[in-house]
Amino acid sequence: MTTVFVFNGPNLNLLGVRRPDVYGTTVLADVEALCRDECARHDLELDFRQTNHEGVLVDWVQEAGAAVKAGTALGAVLNAAAYTHTSVALHDAVEGAELPTIEVHVSNVHGRETFRHHSYVSPVAAGIVVGFGVTGYALAIDGLVRLRRPSRSV
């Protein structure tokens, strides 16, 4: 079965606890269940991960890129969190691994502090989902499917 990777960056392990006024009260385990359901709807397997470490995200992106090239994965949904706004390394990893990536943000980053308006990931992402809460993850998976398997979209 083909895999979709969902990678989560720093502090997303605190989802549901940190700034519920901005990020909501849904916890990361519930986001994983949402993603698993969306993947099942498309006959896909889910590989869901979270880390607070930039280099780990870079390693995962490269791993996922290799899986896409091997034909075992469709691509990735990436919520790089704060690394979105700071990580040239993550930009270079997505680009270098040629990983089809949908960037996702729970909050509307463009309606927040100005430092959140810039993304190093966006220029190398196939698409971006911003501001739909955790539902954005399901939208991102569906979008990845529609981009990569247009004849199988629902």
- The residue annotated as part of the active site, out of 91, 105, 120, 137, is 105
Secondary structure letter of residue 144 according to DSSP: H
Identify residue 78 by its one-letter amino acid code.
L
pTM for the whole structure: 0.92
Predicted confidence at residue 154, as pLDDT, reads 55
- Bridge-based pairing of strands 73-79 and 3-8 is parallel
Per-residue pLDDT of 54-111, as tens digits, reads 999 999 999 999 999 999 999 999 999 999 999 999 999 999 999 999 999 998 777 7
Q: Which residues contact 131 (CB under 8 A, 6 or more apart)?
A: 105, 106, 107, 108, 109, 110, 111
Give the pair of three-digit tokens for residue 37. 């359901």
Q: Which residues contact 35 (CB under 8 A, 6 or more apart)?
A: 4, 6, 46, 48, 77, 137, 138, 141
> Mean pLDDT in the chain?
92
- The residue annotated as part of the active site, out of 23, 83, 120, 137, is 23
pLDDT band at 115 (very low <50, low <70, confident <90, very high): low
Q: Is 85 annotated as a binding residue?
A: yes
Q: Is 116 annotated as a binding residue?
A: yes
In the predicted model, is pLDDT for residue 35 greater than 60?
yes
Predicted confidence at residue 108, as pLDDT, reads 79
83 counts as catalytic: no
CATH for the stretch 3-152: 3.40.50.9100
Q: Is 134 annotated as a binding residue?
A: no
105 counts as catalytic: yes
Distances (CA, A) of 116 to 7, 85, 126: 19, 6, 19
Domain boundaries, the chain: 3-152
